[in-house]
Amino acid sequence: MLETEHQLLEKAIGASKSLFAIFDRIAVEKHEFKDQRRSELPKVILTADGLTTEFKRAADADLKSHLNSDFERLKNLRDSAHVDTLPYLFQKYGWRIADPDDSEKKYPDEAFCDRFRANQALEKPGATGGYLLVKGDLTGIQEYIYHNIQAGKTGGLGNLAKRLRARSTLVSLLTDFVANVILRELGLSSYHLMFAGGGHFNLLLPNDPEIKVRLNMTTESLDKSMRAQFGDRLELIIAHMEIKSREELEKNTSLYFEAVNVERDHKKYSQHRKDLADLFDHRVEKGKRKEIRMGGLFPRQRYLLEIVSTEKLRYFEPEDERDFRGDLVLAEFTTQAHYTLLAIKSKGEAENLLLKNKAEKGQDENIQSVLILALNDTDFLPNDNWATEFDFPISFGFRFLGKNAPTKIGQDGEPEILDFSEIAGKSKENPKNDGFVRLGSLMLDVDNLGLIFSHGIKNASLAQIITLSREMNYFFTAHFDQRAKEQNIYVVYSGGDDAFAVGKWDKLMKFTKTLREDFQKFICYEENKNPDVHFSAGI
């Protein structure tokens, strides 16, 4: 299989056909789509800091050289780890190239990685040829992040900043984590994940009775685990639509996505199905110290570990909550298997943790698989073969995340999050508060996004919807985070199509202005003059 995937990417890279911006095709109110007005995209490797850079087209030979190098590193992994690693390589190399086998369109705007993902899922229907389009949504995000978060109740502005960081980080990471848990429980690959970001995800599953039963069981288990960890403020809503055939889906893709959103909304706003006793049993108020510790340590972490095991891996947590040397466990779910999400600093730390598991008496067979995700870094594969030392597959990938928090060097020599008064400009170097020391806040989101997805692209294909979703999420995670670093902006939350951030008032205004200019570059506004794609912001 590995050789086949390599050849597919090489063929796509070497093809003369160009990819055109998906944003060109959107027409909602003010814009009339004209097929001849198209924005050609250059072939480039995906990086977190290059989404709006004016790239020159990379030479096919250079792209193939990098691709060959990555596939050599991929061969160092166990064969069983390839299936979960390959989708990330397809994103890295296929986000700005067209499918060479797409002969229908003069101006193709479905990225090769998204078209490949859609086809992989479409080629695995249920026994009768049908599919389940599943919508997952984390509701209560705002209430969860900001509940009981006043400075007087958190131990000062420094702890407030850390607790906000802990909660917003969890919300940002849970979307992908939950989607992966569901797919693993169903025995399906990540190609069935159409999109994850901004607090929601879409899955395309085979429509089989067994899949439905296991989906319901997994959803109930996840709901129970989430309530145990986060209380009743953060809830997972799952809705699904049945689709009879591939032809039916391809004919009415936008309508089915709109319908599953309506079903999700119906569940979200209907009376809660849980009885009072169940709510009471699973409402757990987490300690402040754990949030403060998590929020303080997370900015130092560069990787995530998603671990699937047969039992809870207790030794990852410190024995005493006051012991800050323990590993940073972000979330744990128990369904048929046990799922643990950790944050770590390096691949070397991942190796040490797993060796620690291997040496632990009675623990050597507990871990079934591991996925190591580099945060905002697409150079994610290891340079050696240490991952083959273990009896379980270790896969690798990357995840874009808006996570910047302004820091200073603490007493331990490690980065420490600034409190909000320091972000506003108050410091030991500025004891008299010279200048206008004020904190600003920013909220923004893309306008009419629901309308864009349901009616913005006429006869939209599944791959077009995936491409549009992924592009939006790239901008509001990776690019948003890069610009936030430049201006010392604290990213409370960003992903999908919206964001909330705070910073020194003048830097925040400069940041927002730059972000608007970047967004116009990202959607190729100079070329397509499309006034239907924009975001609104309030400061």
Residue 226 scores a pLDDT above 50: yes
C-alpha 437: how far from its chain's center?
34
Q: Can you count the helices (H) and strands (E) in the chain?
A: 19, 17
Mean predicted confidence (pLDDT) in 505-519 = 94
Residue 324 scores a pLDDT above 70: no
What does the pLDDT read at residue 4? 93
Check: CB of residue 476 under 8 Å from CB of residue 499. yes
Residue 317 scores a pLDDT above 80: no
What does the pLDDT read at residue 316? 55
Give the Cα separation of 61 and 82 in Å (integer): 24
Q: What percent of the chain has pLDDT over 70?
A: 88
What does the pLDDT read at residue 364? 55
**337-366 burial by CB neighbour count: b if 16+ within 10 A, else e?**
bbbbbbbbeebebbbebbeebeeeeebeeb
What does the pLDDT read at residue 323? 40
Residue 444 scores a pLDDT above 60: yes
Mean predicted confidence (pLDDT) in 501-525 = 94
What does the pLDDT read at residue 298? 83
pLDDT confidence bin for 279, thresholds 50/70/90: very low
Q: What percent of the chain has pLDDT over 90?
A: 56
C-alpha 220: how far from its chain's center?
23
Mean predicted confidence (pLDDT) in 462-480 = 95
What does the pLDDT read at residue 275? 43
* Higher per-residue pLDDT: 360 or 184: 184
Residue 318 CA: distances (Å) to CA of 14, 293, 313, 324, 412: 51, 12, 12, 7, 19
What pLDDT digit, counting tens, does each position of 329-345 carry? 888 999 999 999 999 99
What does the pLDDT read at residue 313? 76
What pLDDT digit, counting tens, does each position of 386-436 carry? 998 888 999 999 999 998 988 888 777 777 888 888 888 876 655 555 567
What does the pLDDT read at residue 20? 94
Residue 283 scores a pLDDT above 70: no
Which range has the top average pLDDT, 359-363, 486-490, 495-499?
Answer: 486-490
What does the pLDDT read at residue 104? 79
What does the pLDDT read at residue 158? 61
Mean predicted confidence (pLDDT) in 474-487 = 93
Check: CB of residue 463 under 8 Å from CB of residue 118. yes
* Higher per-residue pLDDT: 275 or 480: 480
Residue 277 scores a pLDDT above 50: no
What does the pLDDT read at residue 326? 53
DSSP 321-350: TT-TTS-EEEEEEESSSEEEEEEES-HHHH
What does the pLDDT read at residue 410? 77
What does the pLDDT read at residue 146? 76
What pLDDT digit, counting tens, does each position of 92-102 carry? 999 999 999 88
What does the pLDDT read at residue 426? 75
Mean predicted confidence (pLDDT) in 177-197 = 95
Check: CB of residue 513 under 8 Å from CB of residue 427. no
What does the pLDDT read at residue 77? 94
What pLDDT digit, counting tens, does each position of 60-117 carry? 889 999 999 999 999 999 999 999 999 999 999 999 999 998 877 889 999 999 999 9
What does the pLDDT read at residue 299? 77
pLDDT confidence bin for 235, thresholds 50/70/90: confident
Pairing of strands 235-243, 200-206: unpaired
Residue 425 CA: distances (Å) to CA of 180, 297, 434, 503: 41, 23, 9, 9
Residue 469 scores a pLDDT above 90: yes
**171-195 burial by CB neighbour count: b if 16+ within 10 A, else e?**
bbbbbbbbbbbbbbbbebbbbbbbb
- The structure's pTM equals 0.91
Residue 539 scores a pLDDT above 70: yes
Residue 476 scores a pLDDT above 60: yes
Residue 464 scores a pLDDT above 80: yes
Q: Write the single-letter amino acid at 481.
A: D
* Higher per-residue pLDDT: 311 or 432: 311
Residue 188 scores a pLDDT above 50: yes
Task: Look at 27-31, 45-49, 157-161, 169-173 and tell me which has the smallest mean pLDDT.
Answer: 157-161
What does the pLDDT read at residue 65? 94
- The average confidence (pLDDT) of the chain is 86
Mean predicted confidence (pLDDT) in 228-248 = 89
Task: Look at 183-192, 218-227, 430-439 and tell me which has the smallest mean pLDDT.
Answer: 430-439
What pLDDT digit, counting tens, does each position of 129-161 carry? 999 999 999 888 777 777 766 655 444 556 787
C-alpha 141: how far from its chain's center?
15
